[in-house]
Amino acid sequence: MYLAEYNSAGGRRYVLRNSRFDKKNDCWRSRDLLDLGGAPWKYIEYPGGNAFYINEFVTGELAARNIAYDLAELEELFWPFIRKEIREKLEPFHCRARRKSRKREPKGPGGREVPIFDKRRLCYLRSGTVDQRAVGRMPSRYFTPLANKSRDEIEQFFLGLEKVLQPQEYKQYVYVAFDLQRYFRSSAARSIPQALDRDDLDRYFLRDLCRLQEDEAFWAGFDKSGSLHPYLVRYAVMFFDYEFDGGSAWDEYLQNMINARRFFRPPPPEKISASEIEEIFGMGEEKLRRMDRSELTKLFRKKAHAHHPDKGGEHDSFVRLAEAYRQLLQKC
């Protein structure tokens, strides 16, 4: 049993669901058990002190439908909605009970292989590793949380894990999940995706997104619509509406590249004039000021591609471009 969370026209809603194996079609499917509406916390009762229990309406509805359930499992699903002050007091006992009751997941029917997309997502969310060339060699027990679950339950599981991501991590997470680094030979692809060509990156992402949308084995047991699946829409938003975190790796990459080609030239001036910035980027100061960080970064990457010394550009021009870009970012 699991608690599914989704957005509807009336706002966010929650539904108790479970996964069951469909022998006829040889796949796992999900089914709705009880619609909790937009406020699951209304079904939690507080008799006094730090005690709580799940309202009898929930247990009664499950019993009326002959749905077998474990009370501890049910309380675990409602745990995030318990009053904060009570949850904080019960947390030590809750964690201890959860460790004792944890059971090993049985092997899925037919010993099915976990899709590589799921493996990459789980590895990143657990370790934060961008370079995942070793993911295929990881033991199967690492992926037991994904066993014996419908596609809907697996996606809800990942939705829960992804809540810990910060906005500056979104794009990198999608980059890793879709393994976009495999399309690039540059060593930067494994650690500094900011340095890659933006247009190429966008094209490869859209190609893989469409492939996943059409992957019938991946969506087995799940009724798909003709449009992009809601569970994939979030990745399109993460990729196109957010930028890679600049971070120290990107700054270090730029500085190392500049230093490696300096050949004892004097460092550039600390400040670049507004007129020179206009000349470098080929547009007026007012238009540059109206750009957000995403637009500015895209423009910089196009210019950097043309001025990069490895592409036949001049070292000094690239240095001035990088410095102008940094000055503009400070004003965003």
State pLDDT tens for residues 9-53.
Answer: 778 999 999 999 999 989 999 999 999 999 999 999 999 998 999
Helices (H), ranges, the chain: 56-64, 71-78, 84-101, 116-127, 151-162, 170-177, 198-213, 230-240, 247-260, 274-281, 285-290, 293-307, 315-331
- Considering the domain architecture, whether residues 225 and 114 belong to the same structural domain is answered as yes
The verdict on 124 and 51 lying in the same domain is: no
Q: Which residue has the tokens 């730090």?
A: 50
Q: Are residues 216 and 296 in the same domain?
A: no
Does 317 lie in the same domain as 262?
yes
Last-in-domain residue among 220, 240, 260: 240
Burial of 75 (0-12, 13-18, 19+ CB in 10 A): middle
Statement to judge: residues 119 and 195 lie in one domain: yes
Per-residue model confidence as pLDDT tens for the chain (332 residues): 999 998 877 789 999 999 999 999 899 999 999 999 999 999 999 999 989 999 999 999 999 989 888 888 899 999 999 999 998 888 877 665 555 544 444 444 445 789 999 999 999 999 888 778 888 888 888 899 999 999 999 999 999 999 999 998 999 999 999 999 999 887 778 777 887 888 999 999 999 999 999 999 999 988 766 788 989 999 999 999 998 876 554 455 555 555 555 544 555 555 778 888 888 888 887 888 888 887 888 888 888 777 766 666 677 777 788 888 888 877 76
Q: Give the domain-ending residue among 101, 135, 168.
A: 101
- 117-138 burial, b for 16+ CB within 10 Å, e for fewer? ebbbbbbbbeeeebebeebeee
CA distance linking residue 211 with residue 34, whole number of Å: 33
- The count of structural domains within the chain is 3
Domain of 295 in residue numbering reads as 247-331
Q: What pLDDT, on the 0 to 100 scale, is given for residue 254?
A: 55
Judging by DSSP bridges, how do beta strands 11-22 and 2-8 pair with one another? antiparallel
145 in Cβ contact with 105 (< 8 Å) = yes
Residue 263 is predicted with a pLDDT of 47
Contact 54, 16 (CB under 8 A): no
- For the chain, what is the total number of helices (H) and then of strands (E)? 13, 5
The CATH number given to whatever domain includes residue 296 is 1.10.287.110
Residue type for 298, please? Answer: K
Q: Are residues 187 and 305 in the same domain?
A: no
Q: Residue 311's pLDDT is what?
A: 63
Distance CA 211, CA 205 (A): 10
Mark which of 41, 67, 101 sits at the end of a domain: 101
Q: Which tens digit of pLDDT belongs to each residue from 74-105?
A: 999 999 999 999 988 888 776 655 555 444 44
- The reply to whether 54 and 153 lie within a common domain is no
What pLDDT is recorded for position 308? 66
- Residue 232 has a pLDDT of 94
CA separation (Å) from 267 to 218, 274, 320? Answer: 54, 19, 10
Residues 6+ apart with CB under 8 A from 101: 72
Q: Are both 235 and 117 inside the same structural domain?
A: yes
